[in-house]
Amino acid sequence: MYTRVETSVAVQQLANGLHDSGRDRPWVVVSSPFGTAVPEIGIDQLSSQIGDVARVFLIETGELTRQLGDLLPAQFQVYGSAGRSYPVGDAFAELSRSRLRFTHGDAQHATDQLVTDALAHAHQAGLFALAPASVITVDGTVKGFMLGGSRALVELDSGGMATVWQELTYPPVPLDWSLKPGQRVQGALDASTHRLNVENKPPTTAAISKRYPHGSITLALVQKVSAQRAVLALHPHLQLTITRADISANPLDKVDALLSEGDVVAARVIHLPSGALHLCLSDVDDDETVLPSLCAVRNGPPWLQENRPLLPLVEENEDASAVVELVGTPSPASTVVAAGVESAAAGHVALATAGPTADRLHPRPAPGPGRV
């Protein structure tokens, strides 16, 4: 199900909802091309794949999108056959969280991007932690990956198939860091969508202390860096903060010059007298034994490997891909200008989006630094 926005009153209601910080789920707004009410983006696909965790709206490009743009902060409008997912909370706090997805001649790609955006927003809002009546606990076996590794196909013991979505399984970690063919899994199945959630709670401090004795070495993912601190993850949902002194004895060194987000590093596990855990990188030698990292999903592979960093997702340049929004009947001159802009944008996008769709949607591992 989706909602058509066809009047000025409906536009005002849509804008009010987007501004509402108490909204309980993401809202996805899709616009049609100029001159037609029929969208290029797969509105029915959006409704079926995200309708349980997001509201979907369709608005015609023209006077209605102009009115909506006037009611939203600059650059957060929707028009010209594009779509946008607005997260819960302050939907306008950061433009990079709510990207405008243009079709650029590939409506399926834009639809897939919106599905990814909306599911990520729903995951961040904790909607998948809620258990509706349609969710049941099931067991199954991972059969393989599809859609460029963004989906894992699971054969259920009870019969039938289910899919694990990368957007819902420790994003932005690639699925094949957590799952492997033949792996036995247990998770929460939404029977209406056949989505299977296999995320596990992070291990307790006691469990990690038992797994990694005091002074042992394992791998950690660098999640955040600043001049004096870094946040390292032993598990996708278990972070520890370290300082410059834990990395280098040189007081002039800067953490963000020594580490980069996405690096996989060898770290010494320290058991503090308080019972808490700490990590240290400064005294790790290259010839020391590195214990395997934790498994993000039960029975899965160690989620981290040396020399396999998590590369950042490279997004298309939204400004360079702008589409001219025409309101009313275009003049011959404006048509020529629009055609020129679209032609230039098409040439730019052809270079920016070369390669498989999944490689544009999901960060992939590649060779890089291992130990510090």
Which CATH number belongs to the domain containing residue 141 in this structure? 2.40.50.140
Average pLDDT score over residue span 90-99: 92
Statement to judge: residues 159 and 183 lie in one domain: yes
Confidence of residue 54 (pLDDT cuts 50, 70, 90): very high
Q: Which amino acid is at 205?
A: T
pLDDT at res. 4: 96
Average pLDDT of the residues of the chain: 84
Residue 188 within any structural domain of the chain? yes
Domain finish residue from 280, 300, 318? 280
Residue 133, pLDDT score: 61
Number of domains the chain contains: 3
pLDDT at site 362:
40
pLDDT bin (cut points 50, 70, 90) of residue 250 is very high
- Inform me whether the pLDDT recorded for 269 exceeds 80: yes
Q: Which residue among 126, 156, 189 closes a domain?
A: 126
119 and 148 part of one domain: no
> What mean pLDDT do residues 235-262 have?
95
pLDDT tens string 271-293: 999 999 999 999 999 899 999 99
Separation between Cα atoms, residue 283 and residue 158, nearest integer Å:
51
Asked if 143 and 101 sit in the same domain, the reply is no
Q: Is 125 helix (H, G, I), strand (E, B) or coil?
A: coil
pLDDT given for residue 366 in this prediction: 38
Q: In terms of domains, do 25 and 113 share one?
A: yes
What gap in Å lies between CA 77 and CA 217, rounded to an integer?
Answer: 49
Distances (CA, A) of 101 to 9, 23, 34, 263, 319: 25, 22, 16, 29, 11
Q: Give me the mean pLDDT over the 333-341 stretch.
A: 35
User: Considering the domain boundaries, does residue 10 fall inside one?
Assistant: yes
My answer on whether 104 and 90 are in the same domain is yes
pLDDT at site 369: 39
On whether residue 362 sits in a domain, the answer given is no
Identity of the amino acid at 237: H
- Tell me, yes or no, whether 171 and 96 share the same domain: no
Please check the confidence at residue 365 and state whether its pLDDT lies above 70: no
Dihedrals φ, ψ of 28, to 5°?
Answer: -115, 125
SS3 state of residue 245 = helix
Per-residue confidence band for 222, with pLDDT thresholds at 50, 70 and 90? very high
Position 107 pLDDT exceeds 80:
yes
- The answer as to whether 341 is a domain residue is no
CA dist list (Å): 61 to 29, 42, 188: 12, 16, 39
User: Would residue 310 count as lying in a domain?
Assistant: no
**Same structural domain for residues 12 and 103?**
yes
- What's the domain range around 104? 3-126
User: Which segments of the chain does DSSP mark as H helices, in order?
Assistant: 8-19, 43-50, 63-71, 107-124, 205-211, 255-258, 332-352, 357-361
pLDDT in tens, 134-185: 689 999 999 999 988 999 999 999 999 999 999 889 988 999 999 999 999 9
Q: Is the pTM value of this prediction over 0.85?
A: no
Number of separate helices (H) and strands (E) present in the chain: 8, 15
Domain-embedded: residue 50: yes
What CATH number is given to the structural domain containing 49?
3.40.30
Q: Could you say which of 227, 254, 280 is where a domain stops?
A: 280
Q: Give the pLDDT band of residue 312 (cuts 50, 70, 90).
A: confident
Look up residue 216 and give its two tokens.
């042992």
Q: Let me know whether 17 and 82 are in one domain.
A: yes
Same domain for 116 and 138, yes or no, is: no
